Homo-oligomer: A and B are copies of this chain.
Amino acid sequence: MTTASRAGRPRASSRETLAEAACELFLEQGYEATSIVDITQRAGVSRSSFFNYFSSKSDVLWSGFDARVDAALVALVRLGTEADGDSVRDALRPMLHGLAPDPLALALRNASAMGVEAELMRDTGLRHARLASAIAATARSAGVEVIRADILGSALATAVLSSVRVWAEQGAGQASLESQFDEALHAIHDLPWR
């Protein structure tokens, strides 16, 4: 067995159970109108327990993706001063590989039904900032000037997030995500309005 049953009281719920309850309620009532108490009641645990599984309400939507972001940040740091376009691309690509329909994809697809557009804008901005900032730092350490590095980081981060958004809006089918990302990468160096 792996680590099947350790010592201590067994968990009374799970991330999946809570996320499922939450997403149901988000679709029924909207995100804002759903309180953490609502979620835990439907999942059959106490409000306190919610924070044993998620760090905040929005974490229900983002925890899966955030893990990928964290991994990408580590990969970027590892590039050090030798970074170039290809290596950065390779550090970012795993974020999209095997991405499955999850609460985030559901929220992106049903943003208006959930009334979650403002929240998504806010939280997407955070992830964009984290990614862009890490990419920019990598670029700077490879000798790129400050603002140029910021713009490059921002464009690459947008390539990631915009690809995910389009993929989710189209129904989170496996096919298009990574190829869409390739197109996005290509687009960065071939923008209109030159």
Residues of A within 8 A of B (CB): 84-85, 88, 121-122, 124-126, 128-130, 132-133, 139, 144-148, 150-155, 157-159, 162-163, 166, 180, 183-184, 187-189, 191-194
Contact = CB atoms under 8 A, between A and B. Distances in A.
A1 to B, nearest CB: 41
20 contacts: A121-B126, A121-B129, A128-B129, A132-B158, A147-B166, A147-B183, A148-B184, A148-B187, A148-B192, A150-B162, A151-B184, A151-B187, A151-B188, A151-B191, A152-B191, A152-B193, A154-B154, A154-B155, A155-B158, A188-B191
A121 B122 CA distance: 11
A147 B180 contact: yes
Q: Which of A133, A162, A193 has the most CB of B within 10 A?
A: A193
A193 B139 CA distance: 9
A78 to B, nearest CB: 17
A96 to B, nearest CB: 13
A166 B136 CA distance: 14
A136 to B, nearest CB: 9
A48 B138 CA distance: 46
A81 to B, nearest CB: 14
Nearest to A125: B125
